[in-house]
Amino acid sequence: NPTNMRALFQQARIFVKRGQLDQAENNIKQVLAAFPRDRVSLQQLGELRKIKRDYPGALECYERILQIDPEDMGAHYNLMLIYRKLGRNDEARRESKIFADL
């Protein structure tokens, strides 16, 4: 049922396990269109984009999470990892410190 957001989200998780990443991303985007402040869906989309090596897209997801909850430990941790991956060491250190202080 395309209007059942919980089902779409769960189906997205199945798509990820099957390696059907584009379908998973489409489902998560549908959930976020209905619930743009859903941190769990934003987290899932960020993880999916990391898997796809879409680091700018993943950064956007984690930054959106921090707009909702500035103390979200997972978002700070994932930002740290991505900044390290991109060689943005000053930003990675900043996120590492924030994460450690939470």
Structural domain boundaries in the chain: 5-101
Stated pTM of the model: 0.90
Mean pLDDT, rounded, for 78-95: 98
Mean pLDDT, rounded, for 73-93: 98
Give the Cα separation of 42 and 32 in Å (integer): 7
Distances (CA, A) of 36 to 24, 41, 64: 17, 9, 9
Determine the pLDDT at residue 3.
75
Using left for φ > 0, alpha for ψ between -120 and 50, and beta otherwise, residue 87 falls in left
Tokens, residue 45? 């989309």
In the chain, what percentage of residues exceed pLDDT 90? 96
Mean pLDDT, rounded, for 76-95: 98
Give the Cα separation of 89 and 93 in Å (integer): 6
Residue 2 — pLDDT band, cuts 50, 70, 90? low
Mean pLDDT, rounded, for 2-10: 88
What is the CATH architecture of 5-101? Alpha Horseshoe (1.25)
Determine the pLDDT at residue 1.
62
Tokens, residue 12? 């997205």
CB-count burial class (<10 Å; 0-12, 13-18, 19+) for 65: buried
Mean pLDDT, rounded, for 41-53: 97
Distances (CA, A) of 41 to 18, 26, 89, 93: 18, 12, 27, 26
